[in-house]
Homo-oligomer: A and B are copies of this chain.
Amino acid sequence: MKTIPETLLIIGGVAGGASAAARARRHSETTHIIMLERGPDVSFANCGLPYHIGGEIPDRADLAIQTPASLRSMLNLDVRTLTEAVSIDRAKREVLVRDLADGSESVITYDKLILAPGASPLRPPLPGMDSPLIHTLRNLQDMDRIKLAAAAVEHVAIIGAGFIGLEMAEQLHAIGKKVSVIELQSQVLPQLDAEMVRPLEDTLREKGVELILGDGIDGFETTGSGIIAKLKSGKNLTTGLVILSIGVRPESGLAKDAGIELGPRGHIKVDGWQVTSDPDIYAVGDVCETEEPILGKRIAIPLGGPANRQGRTAADHIFMGEKALRYPGSIGTAIVRVFDHAAGIAGYSEARLKAESVDYQTVTVNGASHASYFPGAETITLKLLWSPDDGRVLGAQASGMDGVDKRLDVIATALRGRLTIDDLAHLEFSYAPPFGNAKDVINVAGFAAGNIRDGLLVPVPDLKSAGAQIVDVRPAATARKQPVPGAVNIPLGELRHRLDELDRGQPVFTICQMGKTSYFAARILANHGFDARSILGGAHHQL
């Protein structure tokens, strides 16, 4: 056991800071725990902010998980809100702080210091950025301002189609606003691979949300009645309100000024116990970067789950020393609901693996959220990525609605356990018709991945990668209703008798509705000597 610190100073009172404070108090009743928070609120539900704007969380008070008073009463914390840390004197272990109410400054001496200042929304220095009609969403006050401003306008422009941008689009639509979403990338949710978010894009458009993809913002011009967003394409978008959600920047200025080591993108570097380059100073949450456990790269994941658990880790190390459990690194698990569709990711996307020049294999399969013969089953599309060297899972993405979160959580667990595609094939899930499947979509992804390795499945990622000889093996009626461009229809049941219709001299590309029958067909063809390849995900995913 280490020496119990007399004073623990925590800068930041939301996810990481609040978790650190709570955990520290479990270890010691005697330590003076001071929590500084620049804003008026501590420990609020920042992930819930969009849902109060849209009215889905009607009571604002539900977002205040703790108050300064409750933290004082429950945790005996010395909470100082509206108080900003100005500078750190590491040699003296002192922090200069400013009371934002009266501007007075004072010095706090610490034994241990935890930095949990979070990250602030990016506000690029563009012309017209000083308009009061441009908002970002970080705290309850931002939320209140947006809610009030939105009430008075017909149209809102959201810049950035990441998780928060899409949640805001959904919630503003829910209160009757017309919404345009502008995204620099040519897809929404650039954390996921493009083809996996197409259903989200379709859903948004069906609801009447305008998507302007592959276009950025050049500046703004405030008019008498609103604001004009000037796009790089030259297009001008007139709106009543702008929400800027193009990413966040770690609030590491204080640490940097104090000479604490930062990573290449400005995050504070920490070890497994969240210790910075100064052994008495810890950093947790959005401000820090850690090593991820899949490929061992440095990573910064600005999400609540990692922040909370990093806060806990820092507190444990302060009071338990090397006996404390190390934070095992963030893998990046995320999900978003957009109307009646959900999509998410755990681990690496294909785009990130490409960017890191990491060798990978991938397969995309469809499955039912629960037994397809039981009412209410919905289709889930799962894209799996793994290492061809050892079959280890590198990441997965899921798209659908019911049960998308479950599959991502299983993959997140598999990533933590360094499981392989063969392990996925034999995961034994809870199965009763209302809840699951005898062969879940994750098992099927494992099967398909193994089939690729064993040469039983020769996958074609998409229709445009297919050659000239495409065979649609769906029933004739289905093929007529939703034809596959360029395909000849030979239903699976007739295939063995109609082999003569195909040219053995060139590859045959099979397609069906869900990507399963096309695999069956390709096996028949391959066993009859054809070079047969199956188009992944079927018409459900490709058309």
- Which chain B residue has the least Cβ–Cβ distance from A347? B428
**Judging by beta carbons under 8 Å apart, are A412 and B433 in contact?**
no
Check A439 for interface membership: any CB of B closer than 8 A. Answer: yes
**Judging by beta carbons under 8 Å apart, are B73 and A493 in contact?**
yes
Contact digits for A402-438, partner B, Cβ 8 Å, 1 yes 0 no: 0011101110111011110011011111111111101
Partner of A57, one of B70, B373, B419: B373
Contact digits for A16-49, partner B, Cβ 8 Å, 1 yes 0 no: 0000000001111110000000000000010110
Docked CA distance A422–B324 (Å):
11
Check A328 for interface membership: any CB of B closer than 8 A. Answer: yes
Known: A56-B375, A417-B417. A47 touches B412 (CB 8 A): no
Q: Determine the chain B residues whose CB is within 8 A of the CB of A429 once the complex forms.
A: 305, 333, 405, 408-409, 412
Q: Determine the chain B residues whose CB is within 8 A of the CB of A308 once the complex forms.
A: 438-439
**Judging by beta carbons under 8 Å apart, are A422 and B325 in contact?**
yes
Q: Determine the chain B residues whose CB is within 8 A of the CB of A333 once the complex forms.
A: 428-431
Docked CA distance A414–B429 (Å):
11
Q: Count identical subunits in the complex.
A: 2
Check A334 for interface membership: any CB of B closer than 8 A. Answer: yes
Check A523 for interface membership: any CB of B closer than 8 A. Answer: yes
Query: With A48-B371, A405-B430 given, can you name 19 additional A-B contacts, CB distance below 8 Å?
Result: A15-B438, A26-B456, A29-B528, A47-B371, A47-B431, A47-B438, A73-B492, A309-B439, A312-B447, A320-B454, A327-B426, A331-B428, A333-B428, A333-B431, A335-B431, A337-B435, A346-B430, A404-B430, A417-B419
Q: Please name 20 pairs of A and B residues whose Cβ atoms are closer than 8 Å in the assembled complex, sorted by A.
A: A26-B523, A28-B527, A29-B496, A45-B373, A47-B431, A47-B433, A57-B374, A73-B492, A76-B496, A325-B426, A328-B426, A335-B430, A346-B428, A405-B406, A405-B435, A409-B427, A410-B410, A412-B430, A416-B427, A417-B417
